[in-house]
Chains A and B, each alone.
Chain A
């Protein structure tokens, strides 16, 4: 259905450009696959040998819809340039802040994009169950098999079938700090949770507050606190219980969850620990997450737990490096042996199965693309084919190392896996209330009740 306008344009474009018209254009049915490929190869411009697998769809267009915009969107567009030049496939990139709601409308309205980057496996699952998402083509499946860990593959699958290859990734289990400040005061980067608490006590003992935090984020206020809880869940209860919790196999107000939230409370609700540079515990709820870490630069705050993407939030001129103004360390677990990693990422779902769409899908899941995109900067992937040497800035290098660490156990951000009513609703609100003084048990009971019954 959506193919119609494209087909027409495709013919027109092929006619104008005069590219191997007979074989590549509208597929009249007579030409065999081998003929098509041979001709297509011949039409590849020089220097495009790497793209031979994706040839044969010159003059076609693929629409792409994502939640990523601004400078990061520019970088995506830039990363497609060579692919577009070589294969003749035009990628129309569109990023929107209303991605989640709009994608739904577009799909319902028969106007679905060819490809969407879906950051929530839960949302992907909904579209798959509605029968809208195409299964990945063979080439993509092979790439995912080769380059991604079992956990990542699982998050892109529904009922054992792979529907979306993973794309970008970020690591959430980080604590931001100022290396120079640590050095001056003689603090060591902690390697266990106990050491972290001991360090917090030490800083608090020196008359300063160690932690700064902020969970305000417009209509998504509360999400940074849910990340805290998820990270603690992985540490106090373990990955298996975490999975059960996310899939609602144990209730939301289970004792394990209460324990994890209280462990967060030992930091976020401790008047001696927070909220450095802003005020008391309640100020966490009114501090925007974008600003929450800035007291570190002024020496007022020592520790700030936030994802790797927080690197872009520092004011211009801040050096993010191990020997720079700020850097991050891995939020330690209870012992040095276990290394649970909380993270997020996007998945490439296709709503059409035209050959050019499948070619783009396969290209995006390849290691070549991961390296091309990483070289442009500020982007990482859990693709194991990604060479750390191609990653420019230190925080991204650290993230890639964390993601590729054999001993690390990756888990996806739980609130993106839960039903939207909880993961993008009551969980956020509940944590905001909790910061504002509500009791742990009472808050978790409320969230449990809001879990959709079907």
Chain B
């Protein structure tokens, strides 16, 4: 379980670090590496990991054992089975599991969403930072302010846009897109991208605007267009920020239940893992043992992504957030 402990400790480290101004950093560093701090970090990590570990152990216990007693009984009375996994992954009943198909849906929802959001946010951030136009800072403030609008407020209007289009009075300005079957992925992408753009633009803008202006000027002197500057100068330099935003976005979309429920619903063609997971336990929770294995199947991908990219995560977030 050391894998799960790693993000916890690095996160707590990150949370403490930012307030440390330059002259204090040495002292803070010393305090953070003291024996006491290490012990505290380990204790916190263990405490945070216990429930997850319990869930993990439970997922290998037989259903009747899970119901009868707690996961710690595993150590005195070990009984291992893969039934929970095979049931949720491969059962033929439409009711119980078939997570494999939903797993794919989750990928189909998450990957394009992350790419769209990254592309749009990077373009917008570059434009606001380096293309001088009237009201650029107002646009930025507007986008920044949008972060405080809770996405729950936008759910019903957005759903209406997809089901009825937009009408003023009797005239239909934007017709309803009439999406059926797998086309409904588009609505989920659209919703997720919309909701992630303000924070994305904000993060990337702070990073991009910090790039030295001399670079851009020199490139422009050499006759480079904005698209060329963006491709050849900006993109290679903002890698860490892009990566951190990508992880952020990936974790958010992968774990999202609300947006998926509303825009994809329980339709097996488009519903992601989270929606399925929420329904796995049965109408009255009579099959709750399935949640143990189901949860771990859905955790696997985010954990891999996080571990693979975590060094960018902390670095990129700080880079964007420290600008002040």
Contact = CB atoms under 8 A, between A and B. Distances in A.
Contact of B287 (A70, A92, A108, A217): A70
A67 B262 CA distance: 15
Interface string B150-165: 0000011011101110
B296 to A, nearest CB: 19
Contacts of A312: 282, 284, 286
Interface in A69-86: 69-74, 77
B237 to A, nearest CB: 42
> 3 smallest A-B Cβ distances: which pairs?
A109-B159, A70-B282, A70-B95
Contact of A102 (B94, B178, B261): B261
Interface string A414-441: 0000000000000000000000000000
A109 B67 contact: no
B64 A5 contact: no
B4 to A, nearest CB: 24
A313 B156 contact: no
B256 interface: no
Contacts of A72: 95, 282-283
Given A109-B156, A111-B163, A70 B283 contact: yes
A354 interface: no
B85 to A, nearest CB: 17
Contacts of B155: 105, 109
Classify the interface of chain A: helix, strand, loop or mixed.
mixed
B176 A4 contact: yes
A105 B164 contact: no
A337 B93 CA distance: 45
A97 B159 contact: no
B163 A1 contact: yes
B279 A110 contact: no
Given A71-B96, A73-B94, A98 B286 contact: no
Nearest to A71: B95
A77 B262 CA distance: 22
28 contacts: A1-B164, A1-B176, A4-B178, A8-B178, A69-B279, A69-B283, A70-B95, A70-B282, A70-B283, A70-B287, A73-B95, A73-B283, A94-B267, A95-B279, A96-B261, A96-B266, A96-B279, A97-B279, A102-B261, A105-B156, A105-B159, A109-B159, A110-B159, A110-B160, A110-B164, A111-B160, A217-B285, A312-B282
Contacts of A1: 163-164, 176
B221 interface: no
Contacts of A73: 94-95, 283
B180 interface: yes
Interface of A: 1-2, 4-5, 8-9, 67-74, 77, 92, 94-98, 102, 105-106, 108-111, 217-218, 288, 290-291, 294, 309, 312-313, 315-316
Interface of B: 63-64, 67-68, 93-96, 155-156, 158-160, 162-164, 176, 178-180, 261-262, 265-267, 275, 278-288
Contacts of A110: 159-160, 163-164
A9 B179 CA distance: 11
Contacts of B160: 108-111
A388 B67 CA distance: 33
A316 B64 contact: yes
Contact of B94 (A74, A106, A309): A74
A105 B95 contact: no
A315 B67 contact: yes
Nearest to B178: A5
Nearest to A8: B178
Contact of B156 (A8, A67, A108): A108
Nearest to A94: B266
Contacts of B63: 316
